[in-house]
Chain A
Amino acid sequence: MARPLSGARLRAAALTLPLLAFVAVTFMAPLGSMLVRSFYEPHVADALPQTLESLRAWDGSSVPDENTFRILATELRLLDQQRKLGGVATRINRLEGGMRSAIMDTARALRDAEPDSWREAMTAADPAWGTEEAWRAVRRAGERYTMRHYLNALDLDRDPSGNIVAQSPERRIYLPLLLRTLGVSLAITVICLILGYPVAYLIANASPGRSNLLLLLVLVPFWTSLLVRTTSWIVLLQNQGVVNDLLVAVGVIGDDGRLALVYNMVGTLVAMTQVLLPFMILPLYAVMRSISPTYLRAASSLGATFPQGFVRVYWPQSLPGVAAGSLLVFILSIGYYITPALVGGRTGQLISNMIAYHMQESLNWGLAAALGVILLVTVMSLYLVYNRLVGIERMRLS
């Protein structure tokens, strides 16, 4: 009896293997490579091996010796010749402002120089070399395995003695952004629940024909391209858009008092709520459909008013749907990128947009990866909760 069973187990498992392998290669491995980038940064370590070796013995309390200056000068010159200096300088500059120009100017000044004192020549090219901060930046940028992207992503930094301290106030942007993202997601979840609950109730308690028709109305936006829906919101909400035109025509606002409804947080909130609303309505509906209306009727026949009956009898039974819908909407909204990017303007951006910025514009891939890992861990923990609570198998698409 044991063998055929294990055969069946094997057969079942074998059927899932191709997809598991496919997901592993095309999806998990990419996530893995991003994880690696968040703490592994070999660029500077590979470019300045001897300098870093020489700095290993340095105590960090005073400027290093002449020999270290000479080694760094030699390596900088070599990188300059190979036209690889810019990338190294940029990375060191991320740890200490001003280092990029210090390094580039120094390399230029030293191109054909054979000075007696490298220390003097380098500090003449840029006085930064006379400070410990510059050298500490070089040493830290040379760490092959580093936690600094995570520190950076949490608005933390290391002070000269290596203690973890808060980032200077004007550079503190990631934690507030993360909190803003969570706040916005929560707000959207609550709004979706408030808007979605009555609709789900209506659909669940309508006659079959009507309920099908209403469901279709909910599903149409679900199937429509996200870009189309976002475009629609721009058309509706922009300064000269339909909503403002309507308000002006009705006389609610004057022509010069048009409301800023898009390219800000309002735009992000409105568009994301509309986009995510079906994800709230559908799970709510699925649960409500199984709640028998006789409970409410029983409550009313016992003299309870509708609100009383609702709060005591119906709401508790619909809680599984509330939890499923809310978690789903919350999970989806913290990772949202497209809608805030298109309608969020400056103030309506979320953490994903910052990741995209570091991926595509600042090219601080290590930081983008660290922010990505933090976001991913948040989403995955919520996903596990969802899985426990709702069961992913019961996720329905229509």
Chain B
Amino acid sequence: MRHAAASFEFSERVGRAVHLAVCGAVLVFLVAPMLVVIPLSFNAEPYFTFTEGMLRLDSDAYSLRWYRGVIEDAEWRLALVNSIVIGIAATAIATTLGVLAALGLANPAMPGRGFVTSLLISPMVTPIIISAAGMFFFYSKLGIAQTHLGVILAHAVFGTPFVVISVTATLVGFDHNLVKAGASLGGGPFLVFRRIQLPLIAPGVISGALFAFAASFDEVVAVLFLGGLQQRTVPRQMWTGIREEISPEILAVATFLVMLALILLGTVEWLRGRASTRPGNAD
């Protein structure tokens, strides 16, 4: 019996070591690719690999020329402005509509909730090429292809599922008697929303909005189908860059996008931390 227990312990220890090694490898596989672009974006040479100078940490082997190239390039600047304008506008639409819908869905009285939810989430699971192709046909008919409006609407509808999901999550376990109580005290629906529900769902709203913004900021296929020269966004520029002329300028932009991702992720996690310490919210 003792022998068996010892061998169990031993095999468990070996197993644990193997397990940790595997997990380490997988995490490296997940994260390392993004880290590799960062040093390469400072490469003084127009190559996509570490030069000998870089490995020796020779300061001449590093330079900011690709960053300068991006900043001085009017196309990249236009793309950045477009990405921000489209991202914010799409997020605003997605957030407004998504929050309203989530409030409705969280209400126990909501009829056909399962069906409506799956309908509202469907833009997220539909293959992007199909959505974009359909939008190309339909938006052309409406005359809003090749306009900012067309791209904004497309990105807004791609963003709504994120808002619906994260706001619904903050409303899980919400006591709807609070709304009734608020209403019985004479509060109008808007006042009740502002005073009772909004403070509670605010973290969900903001993380949903950040998700929607990140989704728009990363979206390229709808822009390919719906956007013209004036609607070029950062991912669209990268797309052409990757397919046609891989220049280290792309790595500079990629580094910027990694930083942006870290900031967005940090914010969302911070919000989540705050939300989960709030009473009355079952996370």
Contact = CB atoms under 8 A, between A and B. Distances in A.
B104 A15 contact: yes
A203 B19 CA distance: 12
B243 A387 contact: no
Given A23-B123, A224-B257, A372-B129, A218 B251 contact: no
10 contacts: A34-B133, A34-B137, A198-B23, A202-B20, A217-B27, A226-B220, A274-B30, A332-B125, A383-B122, A391-B114
Given A9-B111, A12-B111, A22 B157 contact: yes
Contact of B133 (A220, A224, A225, A372): A372
Contacts of A379: 125-127
Contact of A227 (B4, B123, B238, B246): B238
A220 B262 CA distance: 7
A159 interface: no
B97 A19 contact: yes
A158 interface: no
A247 to B, nearest CB: 13
A227 B221 CA distance: 11
A227 B235 contact: yes
Given A33-B141, A355-B133, A359-B133, 9 more contacts: A19-B101, A220-B31, A223-B261, A224-B34, A225-B217, A228-B37, A277-B26, A387-B114, A398-B268
A32 B137 CA distance: 10
B131 interface: yes
Interface of B: 4, 8, 11-12, 15, 19-20, 22-23, 26-27, 29-31, 33-34, 36-37, 40, 47-50, 93, 97-98, 100-101, 103-105, 107, 109-111, 114, 116-123, 125-131, 133-139, 141, 153-154, 156-157, 160, 162, 164-166, 168-169, 189, 207, 211, 214, 217-218, 220-221, 225, 235, 238-239, 242-243, 246, 250-251, 254, 257-258, 261-262, 264-265, 268-269, 272
A220 B265 contact: yes
Contacts of B165: 395-397
A23 B26 contact: no
Given A223-B214, A224-B258, A235 B154 contact: no
B22 A241 contact: no
B182 to A, nearest CB: 14
B33 to A, nearest CB: 4
A30 B139 contact: yes
A241 B48 contact: yes
A305 B139 contact: no
A393 B218 contact: no
A216 B272 CA distance: 12
A369 interface: yes
Shortest 6 CB-CB contacts between residues of A and residues of B: A335-B127, A15-B104, A30-B134, A12-B107, A232-B33, A8-B109
Interface string A1-22: 0000100110111111011101
Given A202-B23, A335-B127, A375-B127, A232 B254 contact: yes
Contacts of B109: 5, 8-9, 11-12
A269 to B, nearest CB: 13
A245 interface: yes
A63 interface: no
Given A34-B133, A225-B217, A227-B218, A16 B23 contact: no
Contacts of B156: 22, 26
Contacts of A230: 242
Interface string A287-328: 000000000000010010110000000000000000000000
Contacts of A331: 125
Nearest to A308: B8
B245 to A, nearest CB: 13
Among B23, B26, B127, B258, max chain A CB count under 10 A is at B127
Nearest to A5: B109
A166 interface: no
Nearest to A228: B254
